[in-house]
Structure 1
Amino acid sequence: MTHTPTTARNAFGDIAPALADYTDHVLFGDVWERPGLSPRDRSLITVASLIALYRTNELPFHLRKALDNGISRDELIEVITHLAFYSGWPTASSAVSIARRVFEEANA
């Protein structure tokens, strides 16, 4: 296994090195690099899924990744607003709070 610093390796590689390796090589290597969808589309799908499933722990990372993949702040807020009607007000409200923090940190 490689020991190059990555987000996964820095976050949990010390306690779960195999999980960090799978995250780096399988998830973000193989899955995210498949040609069927663009990185922008994958980010949009991932952010929407995390919001709908109330996965607030992973949401900040993927909101930043979505911005990096060309999704605008306005588009992300529109996703959150749209999902309020499908995944519920609490998921949207939590996502807005997280998005605000991410946008402030990213100056987006």
Structure 2
Amino acid sequence: MSDQGKFDDLPEVRRRGLEKMEQVYGFEMSDGEGDFFGYTVEHLFGDIWQRPGLSDRDRRLFLIGMLVGQRADDVLGIQVPAALANEELTAEQLRELVILACHYDGWPNGSRFNSVVEAAIGKAQKPS
């Protein structure tokens, strides 16, 4: 993920946040501008995602559940592939989440979630 020392010239909380974003999302980050980006990096990833008490997998499971309920397929399209890439959830576990979502949040929404999951699994299984 991050290159050694890539964020060393930034304040500690900014560096920690950007490194955590890379770890959580599974892709390379660069520093950005503006308050929205700053709060996301420094507060959400520099603080909240680093708190003790829950593993990254626990946080991801909870987040995926909330995103399914909000029908936030765009953000699920980031979280589901990252869960696979970080080996926090397997393809089989994601498919189980789809079945659970269908029964608790309705079949149409579960079907949308299934499309996100199957696309992520298909992409992850293709040889690079």
Range into which the TM-score falls when normalised by the shorter chain: 0.7 to 0.9
**Cα distance, 1:29 vs structure 2:** 2.0
Q: TM-score, normalised by structure 2?
A: 0.68
Q: 1:55 — aligned with what? A: 72
CA displacement 1:36-95 (0-9 Å, x = unmatched): 100011111111111122111100111122221521111111111101111111111001
Question: In structure 2, what is the equivalent of residue 26 of structure 1?
Answer: 43
CA contact (8 A) 1:64 1:102 kept: yes
Structure 2: 5+ residue stretches without partners: 1-9, 19-27
Q: Distance in 2 between matches of 1:19 and 1:73?
A: 33
Instruction: With the length of structure 1 as denominator, give the TM-score of the two structures.
Output: 0.79
SS at match of 1:57: helix
**Whole-Å Cα distance in 1 between the matches of residues 121 and 41 of structure 2?**
25
Q: How does 1:66-77 map to 2 (within 5 A)?
A: 66-67=83-84, 68-77=86-95
Structure 1 counterpart SS, 2:46: helix
Q: 2:52 aligns with which of 35, 41, 45?
A: 35
Contact in 2 for aligned 1:39/1:69 (Cα 8 Å): no
| Identical-pair percentage | 30
Residue 32 of structure 1, CA deviation:
1.0
Length, aligned pairs only:
101
Structure 1, gaps ≥5 residues long = none
